[in-house]
Amino acid sequence: MRLSRYFLPVLKETPSEAQIASHRLMLRAGMIKQASAGIYSWLPMGFKVLKKLEAIVHEEQIRAGHIPMLMPTLQSADLWRESGRYDAYGPEMLRIRDRHDRDMLYGPTNEEMITDIFRSHVGSYKDLPLTLYHIQWKFRDEVRPRFGVMRGREFYMKDGYNFDIDYDSAIHAYNRHMVSYLRTYERMGLKAIPMRADSGPIGGDDTHEFLVLADTGESEVFYDSAILDLTFGDRHVNYDDRAECAQIVKEWTTPYARTDETHDAALYDAIPEARRRSSRGIEVGQIFYFGTKYSEPMGATVVNDKGERVPVHMGSHGIGVSRLVGALIEANHDDRGIIWPEGVTPFHCGIVNLKQGDAEADAACKGIYKALSDKGLEPLYDDREERAGAKFATMDLIGLPWRITVGPRGLKTGVVELTSRRTGDSEEMSPEAAVARVA
């Protein structure tokens, strides 16, 4: 992409309403614009990152055997009356009346709707196990939306729902989700720790939250530092193998790690003092087992292998896709701006032309642009008539992992400068070598 033809409304000033780094930087880097409290327009570069995260979430859910679909944002109140949550959900629910005076709502989550879909079409244990998911906008009328997209009112969530014949099968689904989440967050360059948590309005008795450690996190967390040594890597997992998934879950849930809601001081004190940690965390996902909480009242049943009609065992599993954009910046920034991990960066490499209009420099930039594009690496070419300092500041702010700087002087000796945003190190080398290093 050539910057002169893109739409990247970088702000010079830090907006006063932004209290944390990710909110400040998303506004300054022209990634979002507030439409109203807790509701944002996703401008091109922010939208590009959001879509990259969504693609990773889809890949890992499909790898785990979960089936993508899409449910609407607007829901009938009738379904929520059946489950008894219409009144229980409280003021966070945005309630709407349509022109025929029907009670509707902007969905904060979709347990009722997916259970209705299931009960309309599935009747035999032979159709199980089944996990359906979608990635869809949600609305929760937060009393105090804040921290930009981290606690929005309209936000993008992957929410998946498993339907199983019994408890053991549902716990395998729970474990399958935990495994898929561990791989998902690591692919994004995030360390998100699974911690026992409280189930809140979703309900159920088994639940883990996934938290990214950050001083600005809303959750207070306590954990054994041994958990920081665990990595998922690119290990192959047979998601149908109950024992294999259970083993991975055991590995990741053995070291003590809990949010303040479930913190157990006695267990915490049993950890060797040198390994006890307390911090704050950003909740980027949560998985739940809640058995027949929805299937019982809504009559989502199947005939089992003994011919008996039984309610299915369910769980729901969410990832905060829009919150993840903020969480990634909280975990990857410095005083000059964002530092995108390579797996989620909007563009792989910035190209800065020190002398726009100089035939040799322009030609070299075009050649590098083509070579990067041919390798499937998206360059952002700053071809504006701007001073070098302004171009460098923009590149540092938007946080692309690499910057190739091209100038007439360097070209005289056949070199360009390659700079790593994360380390700040710069090295002179040929344009070909620079392209090879970025790939």
Ligand X SMILES: Nc1ncnc2c1ncn2[C@@H]1O[C@H](COS(=O)(=O)NC(=O)[C@@H](N)CS)[C@@H](O)[C@H]1O
What does the alpha-carbon distance between residue 46 and residue 323 come to, in Å, rounded to a whole number? 12
Span 202-221, contacts to ligand X by CB under 6 A: 202
Nearer of residues 178 and 284 to ligand X, judged by Cβ: 284
Subset of 153-192 contacting ligand X (CB under 6 A): 155, 157, 159
Q: Taking CB under 6 A as the rule, does residue 22 contact ligand X?
A: no
CA pair distance 31, 23, nearest whole angstrom: 10
Query: Smaller CB distance to ligand X: residue 146 or 384?
Result: 146
Q: Is there binding between residue 61 and ligand X (CB under 6 A)? A: no
Q: Which stretch binds ligand X (CB under 6 A): 4-12, 79-87, 149-157, 230-238?
A: 149-157
| Interface residue with ligand X, options 227, 284, 302, 325 (CB under 6 A) | 284
- Judge whether 282 and 217 are in contact, CB under 8 Å: yes
Stretch that binds ligand X, among 120-128, 218-226, 238-246, 315-323 (CB under 6 A): 315-323
Report the nearest approach of ligand X to the CB of residue 17 (Å): 17
For 145-183, give one letter per residue: b (16+ CB within 10 A) or e: bbbbbbbbbbbbbbbbbbbbbeeebbbbbbbbbbbbbbb
Query: Whose CB is nearest to ligand X?
Result: 320
286 binds ligand X (CB under 6 A): yes
What six digits make up the tokens of 322? 């829009």
- Both tokens of residue 422? 């994360």
Least Å from the CB of residue 192 to ligand X: 10
152 binding ligand X? (CB under 6 A)? yes
Distance from chain centroid for Cα 371: 31
> Minimum CB separation from ligand X for residue 183, in Å?
17
Contacting ligand X within 379-408 (CB under 6 A): none
Token pair in block for residue 100: 């025929």
- Give yes or no for a contact between 89 and 108, defined as CB atoms under 8 angstroms apart: yes
90: left (phi over 0), alpha (psi -120 to 50) or beta: left
Q: Tokens 């594009």 appear where?
A: 373
C-alpha to C-alpha distance for 321 and 331, rounded to whole angstroms: 15
List the one residue from 109, 169, 259, 405 that touches ligand X (CB under 6 A).
109
* Smaller CB separation from ligand X, 74 or 267: 74
Q: Is 340 helix (H, G, I), strand (E, B) or coil?
A: coil
Tokens of 252: 């990741």
Is the CB of 155 or the CB of 381 nearer to ligand X? 155
Q: How far is the CB of 248 from ligand X (least distance, A)?
A: 20
**CA angle 113-286-344, nearest 5°?**
105
| Selection from 153, 144, 138 nearest residue 39 by Cα | 153
Q: Is 330 in the site for ligand X (CB under 6 A)?
A: no
318 binds ligand X (CB under 6 A): yes
Give the nearest distance from C-beta 159 to ligand X in angstroms.
Answer: 3
Q: Which residues contact 63 (CB under 8 A, 6 or more apart)?
A: 180, 183, 239
Interface mask toward ligand X for 244-283; x: CB under 6 A:
---------------------------------------x
Which residues contact ligand X (rule: CB under 6 A)?
109, 140, 142, 151-152, 155, 157, 159, 202, 283-286, 316-318, 320, 322-323
